[in-house]
């Protein structure tokens, strides 16, 4: 992921939640906030409610893979936070992919 770094600090997450816009899908919620940087910053939130440790790892890997394969479709200059909902634990890869992209399109982060 050449043009993307990860979102690390809790304060960054809170700023995106408070100041950003959101799009809700059955399996996930995407928050976005325009920053004007040259790169995107991406963070994932998968809480314990979703499942046990290996389930959460699987969900997070799939979401990261979706972003990696579609990175060229994303506009630069956004902070993005993807929150997995409970249903994401049993959802197939294709469903996560379509929901992620449609949510990104609604927020204007995807061309």
Partner RNA sequence: CGAGUUUUCCGAAUGGCCGCGGGCAUGAGCCGAAAGGCUGUGCGUGAGGAAAGUCCGGGCUCCACAGGGCAAGGAUAACGGGUAACGCCCGCCGAUGGCGACAUCAGGACAAGUGCAACAGAGAUAUACCGCCGCGCUUUUGGCGCGGUAAGGGUGGAAAGGCGGUGUAAGAGACCGCCCGACGGCCUGGCGACAGGCCGCCGCUGUAAACUCUAUCCGGAGCAACACCGUGGAGGGGGAUCAGGCCGGCCCGGCUCCCCCGGGGAGGUGGCUGGAGCGCUGCGGCAACGCUGCGCCUAGAUAGAUGGCCAUUUUUAACAGAAUCCGGCUUACACGAAGACUCGUAUC
Partner RNA sequence: CGGGGUGUAGCGCAGUUGGUAGCGCGCUUGGUUCGGGACCAAGAGGCCGGGUGUUCAAGUCACCUCACUCCGA
State in angstroms the smallest separation of the CB of 85 from RNA.
15
Cβ closest to RNA, residue 95 vs residue 106: 95
- Rounded Cα gap, residues 14 and 39, in angstroms: 19
| Positions in the binding site for RNA (CB under 7 A) | 1, 6-10, 13, 43, 45, 52-55, 57-58, 60-62, 65, 68-69, 93-94
Cβ closest to RNA, residue 8 vs residue 108: 8
- Rounded Cα gap, residues 64 and 61, in angstroms: 5
Residues in the chain: 111
């Amino acid at each position: 992921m050449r043009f993307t770094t990860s979102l690390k600090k809790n304060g960054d997450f809170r700023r995106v939640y408070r100041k950003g816009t959101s799009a809700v899908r059955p399996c996930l919620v995407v928050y976005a906030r325009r920053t004007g940087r040259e790169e995107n910053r991406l963070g994932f939130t998968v809480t314990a409610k979703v499942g046990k440790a290996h389930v959460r790892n699987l969900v997070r890997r799939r979401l990261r893979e979706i972003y990696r394969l579609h990175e060229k479709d994303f506009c630069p200059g956004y902070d993005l936070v993807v929150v997995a909902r409970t249903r994401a634990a049993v959802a197939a890869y294709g469903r996560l992919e379509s929901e992620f992209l449609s949510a990104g399109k609604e927020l204007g982060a995807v061309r």
